[in-house]
Amino acid sequence: MPERLTHLDPLGRARMVDVTPKDPSHRRAVARGRVYMQPETTALVARGAVGKGDVLNVARVAGIQAAKRTADLIPLCHPLLVGAVLVNFHIDDAYIEIEAHVDTVDRTGVEMEALTAVTVAALTIYDMCKSADRAMTIGDVTLWEKTGGRSGVYRRESSDPELDLGL
């Protein structure tokens, strides 16, 4: 655990971390999250029967777009050249799980891009399904894996086998 937060200067003021001394390298991040909903709602999504259209395709495009726009949303996040974004879904009776993979060759990681992709995809699912299910909940948005850069590899270890779907 770092002794201080990197986005604060010695006086405690917000700052953007200087990444210019770093060499560009391949970096990847994987994030996951879920939209919990009634089984009837997941069935509607699975059948493509939601009135607003193809929920998962729209959510996929929203997640990809969000990953590319992360620096516009998160004030101290560096603008990156996002090389690839993959957004996948797993439908269960009680939830839809979203998994986003983001890759770049740059001086800083893409964790925020992966987390933003998952979050915006989840919000899109919520928006498209809210007329059928007002009790939906978005949750479990988590960084699952990060590779590249000075800090090396991080993989989340799950104590809940149900959370490790291996999408």
Please check whether residue 35 is in contact with residue 128, taking contact to mean a CB–CB distance below 8 angstroms.
Answer: no
Q: Give, in order, the Cα–Cα distances in Å from 36 to each of 50, 99, 104, 132, 152.
A: 16, 15, 31, 13, 33
Token pair listed for 31: 């994030």
Q: Report the residue count for the chain.
A: 167
Token pair listed for 126: 């919520």
Q: Which of 93, 127, 133, 164 is catalytic?
A: 127
| Known catalytic residue at 93 | no
Token pair listed for 154: 């991080």
Phi-psi region of 166 (alpha: psi -120 to 50; beta: other; left: phi over 0): left
Quick check: helix, strand or coil at residue 144? strand
Cα distance between residue 107 and residue 150, in whole Å: 10
What are the residue numbers of the active site?
127
